[in-house]
Amino acid sequence: MDKSQRKWLFISVGFSLVVLVVILFFTINENTLMYLQKMNPWFLLLAFLTHVLTMCFWAWRVKKMAGSLGYCIGFFYSLNLVFANLLAAAVTPAQAGGEPVRVHELYKADVPLGDATAIVIMERVLDGIALAALAAFSMIVLTDQWKSLGTISEVMVFVTWIFVAGSIFLFFLAVRRPDVVKRVVNRCTLFLTKKWENKRVEALIARADKEIDNFQSTTVRFVHTAKSGLVWGMLFTLLYWVSEIVTASLILVGLGQPPLILESFVIQLILAILMMMPLTPGSSGIAEVGATSMYALFIPASIVGIFVVIWRIVLYYFNIALGLLSSLIIVRREANRQCNPPLSRP
């Protein structure tokens, strides 16, 4: 991890800790100890294990989508790729830092850069579609739960559809009008490389154009000849989000509270959409405040702060720990490669 990444990690974690301390200060009272005595640690452990299962669903998605394009990637390599992505996602707004990490690791597994980019972008598209579908389902079936959240639910419905429409439009533009994407990329490249030599800039632009063409052809393959990748991708995407949402209910049960499965389903959908917006690094502060304000409508104030702390430990701080572990594995792998370089790269 370089100096810049460490700085943003400290900022993200520091901001999150400050917000959590403030939340605990305003929610802990004389009844908190009584609720903590009802705590069941086995359900809290199950929440951690469920979150690991969630990461496994993500790894299977990567493996299946890459496999549909003809690239054989092992499950544990895919899982380590997902873990490495978690650390970068924890320190960047909208968790956007994870995408370059996944592309890089796919490239290291001999997936061409354009194909790796297509896989990662298709993951984002599937996430958007899955969240929109789950939100639409919950709005139709769980009307009372949405209404119980007040005006915030109406705002999030609007935000959800803007997010999905924007994702689909950008995806469509990249596939149908690669010439437009090339012009934008070329202009950005020229702007960012004003001090570079002309030959170096031309080489970079040529490579970018080639990778855009590769991305378009790969995406077309997903739609036409690699449909199984999209089918498996959507299946594991739905399993990923359902598993992630259920984790909160397990924490509630572990704290001696009712699981609030339906209410938690709606709240976690809203939080997932909020955390995809580029507001703060790793969504620090946004997630904590959002979860506190919504869960406080359903569980006692004395325990809501403890719940939010454990929820963030499972879904945020645990992610950072997994990311650090994965980074060590990658550093060791690259060191071994330098000592024993491959004879050739296909």
Higher pLDDT, 141 or 32: 32
pLDDT tens-digit map of 153-175 = 667 666 666 766 766 676 677 67
Q: Please give the pLDDT value at position 138.
A: 73
Query: DSSP letters of 104-153?
Result: HHHHHTT--HHHHHHHHHHHHHHHHHHHHHHHHHHHHH-HHHHHTTTHHH
Domain boundaries, given as residue ranges, for the chain? 3-339
pLDDT tens-digit map of 71-80 = 999 999 999 9
Query: DSSP letters of 58-109?
Result: HHHHHHHHHHHTT----HHHHHHHHHHHHHHHTTSBTTTTHHHHHHHHHHHT
pLDDT > 90? residue 254: yes
pLDDT tens-digit map of 100-129 = 889 889 998 988 887 888 888 888 878 877
pLDDT tens-digit map of 192-221 = 677 777 777 778 778 777 777 776 777 777
